[in-house]
Amino acid sequence: MNRILYILLVAVSFGMLTPQAFAGNPDRQGEAGAYELLINPWARSAGLHTMTTSSITGVEAMRLNVAGVGRVDGLEFYGAHSIYLQSTGININSFGFASKIGENGGFGVTIMSMDFGDIPVTTGNQPEGTGATFSPTFLNIGVGYSHVFENKVSVGILFRGVSERIADLSAGTFAIDAGVQYVTGENDNFKFGISLRNVGGTMEFAGEGLTVNRQVPIGSVTYGQAVEQRAAEYELQSQLNIGASYDILLGTTGRFTLVGNFTSNAFSQDQLGGGAEFSFKDMLVLRGGYKYEFGSTLDNGQEAPLYTGISAGVTLEVPFNKDNPESGRFGVDYAYRTTKLFGGTHNIGVRLDL
């Protein structure tokens, strides 16, 4: 009973911190920035449409629910590459590690970088391009810690640095994620999780790129003068996730898991979804999910949500020594998510558990 009270207390605390995150607000859509904070670069959770708030563990937990970092076994390394919205030329590279600390703690670090390729420089006088190119740099680094209480309740907090930059402009800030997971049942097969993400300061671009030349008349003479424009501040994409999952054990070799998740976005519509995962001997895992965004349908043109639809993924994992499961494991993950525009998003990852 005390554990349930702990969870309710954390949930209420989340609501007091950011009450606007409890209800989707389509009227504010487009007012926030740093959308990359909502992009999931990790293949395992992407295969379930990032709806594993209750059960996610290890490196991936630092993108959805940092409470899961404390449930890592030993040391985990994860590298991933994403083709974001195929045919746009946008790629995402991510790397992270998570490690057990003591008996009940977990610590992890993740780095995510977006590659936009070379973008032509255009001006008002040369709208077809000047011949030069530029490439934005979007980078965020997260450092998280989680602690598990009595192997049932885990809580975590993560600090993330966010940077957006081109040659003559840059913006940056810090954000905080927090989360809780609760595990119960005869075989720990019921899981519940809550996470609050991207709570932090505002961002504002600054740099020489905001300086323009203006002709200033003084009497009968006109002088050229450099004038600095002011950029508007923008907030981060705050988000609240509430999820649950239930494991159905199929003898000693199989597992079938049902997943449900609700996402409330401070600057867009709420989302609801569910999925399922089948595991055979923890060596072959198949998963799929469906996510729906409230207030939108696929018939309303450009306003239709990007990721309303299905997702699917697969994991192949092998132990280093089949006679000793504790020797470590090597795994490859793949996921695909359909999108309304372009050709969907592909995620592939390579994991090393020691």
Q: Which of 17-21, 103-107, 270-274, 319-323 has the lowest mean pLDDT?
A: 17-21
Can you give the residue range of the structural domain that contains 32? 2-203+239-353
Is 15 domain-assigned? yes
Q: How many domains in the chain?
A: 1
Given this model, what pLDDT does residue 303 score?
Answer: 59
- What's the pTM? 0.87
Question: 289 vs 9, 55, 260, 343, 344, CA distance in Å?
Answer: 30, 15, 9, 18, 15
Band of the pLDDT at 12, cuts 50, 70, 90? very low
Question: Does residue 200 carry a pLDDT above 80?
Answer: yes
Question: Does residue 2 carry a pLDDT above 70?
Answer: no
Is 117 domain-assigned? yes
CATH number at 335 reads 2.40.160.60
Given this model, what pLDDT does residue 22 score?
Answer: 45
Question: Does residue 217 carry a pLDDT above 60?
Answer: yes
Given this model, what pLDDT does residue 20 score?
Answer: 44
Is 226 domain-assigned? no
Given this model, what pLDDT does residue 296 score?
Answer: 61
CA gap 90, 114 in Å, rounded: 7
Question: 330 vs 68, 252, 283, 312, CA distance in Å?
Answer: 20, 21, 10, 21
Q: DSSP letters along 225-283, please?
A: EEEEPPPPPBB---EEEEEEEEEEEETTTEEEEEEEEEEEETTS--EEEEEEEEEETTT
CA gap 101, 20 in Å, rounded: 35
Band of the pLDDT at 321, cuts 50, 70, 90? confident
Q: What is the mean pLDDT of residues 58-78?
A: 95
Question: Does residue 18 carry a pLDDT above 70?
Answer: no
Question: Does residue 5 carry a pLDDT above 60?
Answer: no
Is 212 domain-assigned? no
Phi–psi pair at 3, nearest 5 degrees: -65, -40
Is 225 domain-assigned? no
Is 219 domain-assigned? no
